[in-house]
Amino acid sequence: AQSVTQLGSHVSVSEGALVLLRCNYSSSVPPYLFWYVQYPNQGLQLLLKYTTGATLVKGINGFEAEFKKSETSFHLTKPSAHMSDAAEYFCAVMNYGGSQGNLIFGKGTKLSVKP
Amino acid sequence: EAGVVQSPRYKIIEKKQPVAFWCNPISGHNTLYWYLQNLGQGPELLIRYENEEAVDDSQLPKDRFSAERLKGVDSTLKIQPAELGDSAVYLCASSFNRGQGRTGELFFGEGSRLTVL
Protein backbone atom coordinates (compact mmCIF):
# COMPACT_ATOMS: atom_id res chain seq x y z
CA ALA A 1 0.00 0.00 0.00
CA GLN A 2 1.11 3.50 -0.70
CA SER A 3 1.44 6.15 1.98
CA VAL A 4 2.81 9.60 2.62
CA THR A 5 4.46 10.98 5.73
CA GLN A 6 4.85 14.70 6.26
CA LEU A 7 7.39 15.60 8.92
CA GLY A 8 6.20 18.45 11.08
CA SER A 9 2.57 19.42 11.39
CA HIS A 10 3.54 23.06 11.80
CA VAL A 11 6.46 25.00 10.35
CA SER A 12 7.15 28.65 11.08
CA VAL A 13 9.57 30.81 9.10
CA SER A 14 10.37 34.49 8.84
CA GLU A 15 9.47 36.44 5.74
CA GLY A 16 12.32 36.12 3.25
CA ALA A 17 13.65 32.91 4.78
CA LEU A 18 13.90 29.52 3.10
CA VAL A 19 10.81 27.34 3.20
CA LEU A 20 11.37 23.58 3.49
CA LEU A 21 8.45 21.21 3.94
CA ARG A 22 9.31 17.55 4.16
CA CYS A 23 7.53 14.63 2.57
CA ASN A 24 8.48 10.97 2.44
CA TYR A 25 6.48 8.37 0.56
CA SER A 26 6.09 4.65 0.50
CA SER A 27 5.28 2.96 -2.79
CA SER A 28 5.88 -0.42 -4.36
CA VAL A 29 5.64 1.04 -7.87
CA PRO A 30 7.07 4.22 -9.39
CA PRO A 31 4.93 6.92 -7.84
CA TYR A 32 3.33 10.04 -9.07
CA LEU A 33 3.83 12.71 -6.39
CA PHE A 34 2.04 15.96 -5.73
CA TRP A 35 1.97 18.98 -3.50
CA TYR A 36 -1.33 20.72 -2.90
CA VAL A 37 -1.91 23.96 -0.98
CA GLN A 38 -4.99 24.89 1.02
CA TYR A 39 -5.62 28.48 2.04
CA PRO A 40 -8.00 29.10 4.95
CA ASN A 41 -11.59 28.19 4.15
CA GLN A 42 -10.72 27.21 0.61
CA GLY A 43 -10.35 23.99 -1.32
CA LEU A 44 -7.04 22.43 -2.22
CA GLN A 45 -5.07 23.71 -5.20
CA LEU A 46 -2.32 21.89 -7.07
CA LEU A 47 1.13 23.44 -6.53
CA LEU A 48 3.23 21.01 -8.54
CA LYS A 49 3.54 17.39 -9.53
CA TYR A 50 6.13 14.79 -10.48
CA THR A 51 5.23 12.04 -12.90
CA THR A 52 8.26 11.06 -14.96
CA GLY A 53 11.36 12.75 -16.36
CA ALA A 54 13.14 15.60 -14.63
CA THR A 55 13.29 15.04 -10.91
CA LEU A 56 13.28 18.74 -10.04
CA VAL A 57 9.85 20.14 -10.70
CA LYS A 58 8.78 23.74 -10.52
CA GLY A 59 5.34 24.85 -9.51
CA ILE A 60 3.35 27.98 -9.00
CA ASN A 61 4.29 30.85 -6.68
CA GLY A 62 8.02 30.07 -6.79
CA PHE A 63 7.79 26.62 -5.17
CA GLU A 64 9.73 23.62 -6.34
CA ALA A 65 10.25 20.03 -5.25
CA GLU A 66 12.80 17.35 -5.96
CA PHE A 67 12.01 13.67 -6.33
CA LYS A 68 14.73 11.58 -4.70
CA LYS A 69 14.10 7.90 -5.25
CA SER A 70 17.00 6.77 -3.07
CA GLU A 71 15.59 8.74 -0.14
CA THR A 72 11.90 8.16 -1.03
CA SER A 73 11.42 11.88 -0.55
CA PHE A 74 9.68 14.74 -2.30
CA HIS A 75 10.45 17.82 -0.21
CA LEU A 76 8.93 21.18 -1.10
CA THR A 77 11.09 24.31 -1.07
CA LYS A 78 10.90 28.01 -1.76
CA PRO A 79 13.97 30.23 -1.50
CA SER A 80 12.23 33.21 0.06
CA ALA A 81 8.98 33.04 2.02
CA HIS A 82 6.26 35.60 1.52
CA MET A 83 3.43 36.40 3.89
CA SER A 84 0.97 35.12 1.29
CA ASP A 85 2.54 31.65 1.51
CA ALA A 86 0.89 31.07 4.89
CA ALA A 87 -1.36 28.07 4.30
CA GLU A 88 -1.55 24.33 4.79
CA TYR A 89 0.43 22.14 2.43
CA PHE A 90 -0.38 18.55 1.59
CA CYS A 91 1.87 16.01 -0.04
CA ALA A 92 0.14 13.25 -1.98
CA VAL A 93 1.00 10.08 -3.85
CA MET A 94 -1.07 8.54 -6.59
CA ASN A 95 -1.71 4.85 -6.58
CA TYR A 96 -1.37 4.70 -10.32
CA GLY A 97 -0.86 1.03 -10.87
CA GLY A 98 -3.33 -0.27 -8.35
CA SER A 99 -6.76 1.13 -7.69
CA GLN A 100 -7.03 3.28 -10.77
CA GLY A 101 -5.25 6.36 -9.61
CA ASN A 102 -6.57 7.56 -6.27
CA LEU A 103 -4.66 10.30 -4.51
CA ILE A 104 -3.45 9.46 -1.01
CA PHE A 105 -2.74 12.57 1.06
CA GLY A 106 -0.45 13.17 3.98
CA LYS A 107 -1.71 14.83 7.15
CA GLY A 108 -0.53 18.25 6.06
CA THR A 109 1.95 20.86 7.27
CA LYS A 110 0.72 24.26 8.31
CA LEU A 111 3.13 26.99 7.27
CA SER A 112 3.24 30.23 9.23
CA VAL A 113 5.22 33.22 7.98
CA LYS A 114 6.37 35.83 10.47
CA PRO A 115 6.94 39.45 9.42
CA GLU B 1 -14.56 29.27 -16.12
CA ALA B 2 -16.47 28.35 -13.00
CA GLY B 3 -14.76 26.09 -10.51
CA VAL B 4 -16.20 23.25 -8.49
CA VAL B 5 -19.25 24.52 -6.63
CA GLN B 6 -20.41 23.02 -3.35
CA SER B 7 -23.33 23.77 -1.11
CA PRO B 8 -24.04 24.40 1.62
CA ARG B 9 -20.75 25.86 2.87
CA TYR B 10 -21.74 25.33 6.48
CA LYS B 11 -24.30 23.08 8.10
CA ILE B 12 -25.12 22.56 11.76
CA ILE B 13 -27.44 19.72 12.70
CA GLU B 14 -28.29 17.61 15.69
CA LYS B 15 -27.21 14.00 15.81
CA LYS B 16 -29.52 11.50 14.17
CA GLN B 17 -30.71 14.12 11.69
CA PRO B 18 -30.13 13.68 7.95
CA VAL B 19 -27.94 16.00 5.89
CA ALA B 20 -27.12 16.31 2.21
CA PHE B 21 -24.33 18.01 0.33
CA TRP B 22 -24.39 19.00 -3.30
CA CYS B 23 -21.54 19.34 -5.79
CA ASN B 24 -21.40 20.75 -9.29
CA PRO B 25 -18.09 19.85 -10.96
CA ILE B 26 -16.21 21.77 -13.61
CA SER B 27 -17.92 21.49 -16.96
CA GLY B 28 -16.53 18.60 -18.99
CA HIS B 29 -14.90 16.83 -16.07
CA ASN B 30 -15.89 13.18 -16.16
CA THR B 31 -14.45 12.16 -12.79
CA LEU B 32 -15.91 13.33 -9.51
CA TYR B 33 -14.60 12.68 -6.01
CA TRP B 34 -15.95 13.11 -2.52
CA TYR B 35 -13.33 13.48 0.19
CA LEU B 36 -13.64 13.68 3.96
CA GLN B 37 -11.28 16.04 5.78
CA ASN B 38 -11.13 15.83 9.56
CA LEU B 39 -9.54 18.64 11.54
CA GLY B 40 -5.76 18.47 11.28
CA GLN B 41 -5.84 15.66 8.74
CA GLY B 42 -5.44 15.28 5.02
CA PRO B 43 -8.39 14.51 2.77
CA GLU B 44 -9.51 10.89 2.62
CA LEU B 45 -11.38 9.53 -0.37
CA LEU B 46 -14.98 8.50 0.24
CA ILE B 47 -16.10 7.76 -3.30
CA ARG B 48 -14.99 8.29 -6.88
CA TYR B 49 -17.26 8.46 -9.91
CA GLU B 50 -16.32 7.96 -13.52
CA ASN B 51 -19.22 9.61 -15.31
CA GLU B 52 -22.26 8.22 -13.48
CA GLU B 53 -20.60 5.02 -12.27
CA ALA B 54 -19.20 4.73 -8.74
CA VAL B 55 -15.88 2.99 -9.46
CA ASP B 56 -14.41 3.20 -5.97
CA ASP B 57 -16.63 3.42 -2.90
CA SER B 58 -14.59 1.14 -0.68
CA GLN B 59 -14.14 3.84 2.00
CA LEU B 60 -17.76 4.98 2.05
CA PRO B 61 -19.56 3.91 5.27
CA LYS B 62 -22.54 2.45 3.50
CA ASP B 63 -24.67 1.98 6.59
CA ARG B 64 -25.26 5.72 6.85
CA PHE B 65 -23.65 7.36 3.82
CA SER B 66 -24.97 7.33 0.29
CA ALA B 67 -24.06 9.19 -2.86
CA GLU B 68 -25.37 9.58 -6.36
CA ARG B 69 -24.30 11.23 -9.55
CA LEU B 70 -27.25 11.39 -11.84
CA LYS B 71 -26.55 12.00 -15.53
CA GLY B 72 -22.84 12.06 -14.80
CA VAL B 73 -22.74 15.70 -13.76
CA ASP B 74 -23.90 16.93 -10.36
CA SER B 75 -23.54 14.78 -7.30
CA THR B 76 -25.15 14.53 -3.88
CA LEU B 77 -23.66 13.03 -0.73
CA LYS B 78 -26.09 12.12 2.02
CA ILE B 79 -25.66 11.11 5.64
CA GLN B 80 -28.56 9.55 7.47
CA PRO B 81 -28.52 9.53 10.43
CA ALA B 82 -25.63 11.81 11.29
CA GLU B 83 -23.38 11.01 14.25
CA LEU B 84 -21.15 13.27 16.32
CA GLY B 85 -18.08 11.81 14.63
CA ASP B 86 -19.28 12.94 11.24
CA SER B 87 -18.34 16.53 12.04
CA ALA B 88 -15.78 17.36 9.35
CA VAL B 89 -15.33 19.11 6.03
CA TYR B 90 -16.69 17.30 2.99
CA LEU B 91 -14.74 18.17 -0.12
CA CYS B 92 -15.82 17.60 -3.67
CA ALA B 93 -13.28 17.51 -6.49
CA SER B 94 -13.37 16.86 -10.20
CA SER B 95 -10.93 16.02 -12.95
CA PHE B 96 -10.84 14.98 -16.57
CA ASN B 97 -9.40 11.54 -17.16
CA ARG B 98 -9.05 9.95 -20.56
CA GLY B 99 -8.93 6.19 -20.32
CA GLN B 100 -6.12 5.16 -17.97
CA GLY B 101 -4.32 8.48 -18.34
CA ARG B 102 -4.83 9.88 -14.87
CA THR B 103 -3.06 13.17 -14.26
CA GLY B 104 -3.68 13.41 -10.54
CA GLU B 105 -4.67 17.04 -10.97
CA LEU B 106 -7.87 17.45 -9.05
CA PHE B 107 -9.84 20.66 -8.82
CA PHE B 108 -11.43 21.07 -5.40
CA GLY B 109 -14.44 22.96 -4.22
CA GLU B 110 -14.35 25.05 -1.05
CA GLY B 111 -15.94 22.27 0.97
CA SER B 112 -19.00 21.83 3.15
CA ARG B 113 -18.27 22.10 6.84
CA LEU B 114 -20.58 19.90 8.92
CA THR B 115 -21.05 20.28 12.65
CA VAL B 116 -23.09 17.63 14.41
CA LEU B 117 -24.31 18.58 17.90
Query: What is the pLDDT tens value at each position of chain B, 117 positions in all?
Result: 689 999 999 999 999 999 999 999 999 999 999 999 999 899 999 999 988 999 888 889 999 999 999 888 999 999 999 999 999 999 999 998 766 556 678 999 999 999 999
Which string of DSSP letters, residue by residue, matches chain A?
Answer: --EEEEE-SEEEEETTS-EEEEEEEE-SSPPEEEEEEE-TTS-EEEEEEE-SS-SEEE-GGG-EEEEEGGGTEEEEEESS--GGG-EEEEEEEE--SSSSS-EEE---EEEEEE-
- For residue A43, list chain B residues with Cβ-Cβ distance below 8 A: 3-4, 91, 93, 107-111
Size of interface A-B (CB pairs under 8 A): 62
What's the pLDDT score for residue B40? 87
The verdict on B101 touching A (C-beta cutoff 8 Å) is: no
